[in-house]
Amino acid sequence: MEINVFRLCSGLRVLGYFMILLVAAIIGVTYYAVVVVTWGPKLLGGGFHSFLAFAIIIKFHVLLILLLWSYFRVVFKDPGSVPENWRPDPTEENLEVGTSLAAADDGFQRRPRAGYCIHCQNGKPPRCHHCSVCQRCVLKMDHHCVWVVNCVGARNYKFFLLFLLYTFLETTMDTIVLLPSFINFFSEAKSHSSTPANLAIIFLAFVLNLAFALSLLCFLVMHASLLSSNTTSVEVHEKKGTVRWKYDLGRRRNFEQVFGTKKTLWFLPLFSEEDLNNIPALRGIDFPTRSDVEA
């Protein structure tokens, strides 16, 4: 019996649902350690410690809200699906044929060639890739993330980056504010000044947040580099060997193709209607190249 390996990959979606539960569990443990056990009780003490506790708890909740908002936007937002029976614009196909020689001289095409997906039996716009887990083509696919049970693509990449950013800031802050309690862990365990359950939760929360902060820093640096050159994780190998990546329009334009032009919304998991209408890259079908900008 023939086994479809790509079909088996769809089983990874089940793992993703456990990841969502794991995220909820980590948030719950951290909330209890930071707010309930460590800093919440200091609100009633008065003086500087009370003010510091208030500031920490407010910052904790603000980052948590932004983190969860971005997270659920990544989970529930369609990264971009190819319209049924999609075909490239015939005028663009003619333009591509007519300019192929000039494009070859420049080292890149004026209009990247559209493809065809044998799995979906449908056309593939430029930068579109088939996801073996989701069993569909995703517009400007970056990767499939088991943590969000979804693909990261053209229409939710901004939300994914904000989720990474706010999770990094939250876990870094949690690590710092739990550090004094972690340092006193062994002395408090010997003196029995705290219950074993609270000590275990503080210890676990500190270790988890430290581990996530360090790992997320690596992801942030990687995706910041990809964002600055307008490259996806899938396109890294394709980009190698090129003099300059054909989608690299300059750092500012590259940033706006993901975050939009409205500065007030850059750090919120939202897009303005104006940006959605005026920036084709946010819709995931059409992407300008260097030749378009420099022409």
Report the C-alpha gap between 80 and 124 in whole angstroms: 12
Do residues 282 and 154 lie in contact, with contact meaning Cβ atoms separated by under 8 Å? yes
* 67: nearest Cα among 154, 188, 202, 164: 164
Longest Cα–Cα distance of the chain, Å, equals 81
Element holding 137 (H helix, E strand): strand 136-138
Residue 35 DSSP symbol: I
Residues pairing with 185 in the sheet = none
Dihedral angle sign, alpha carbons of residues 29, 33, 35, 36: positive
CB atoms within 10 A of CB 37: 20
Do residues 216 and 167 lie in contact, with contact meaning Cβ atoms separated by under 8 Å? yes
Report the C-alpha gap between 38 and 71 in whole angstroms: 26
What are the catalytic residues? Answer: 145
- Angle in degrees, CA 216, 218, 223, rounded to 5: 90
For 12, left (φ over 0), alpha (ψ -120 to 50), or beta?
Answer: alpha
Q: Is 40 exposed, middle or buried (0-12, 13-18, 19+ CB in 10 A)?
A: middle
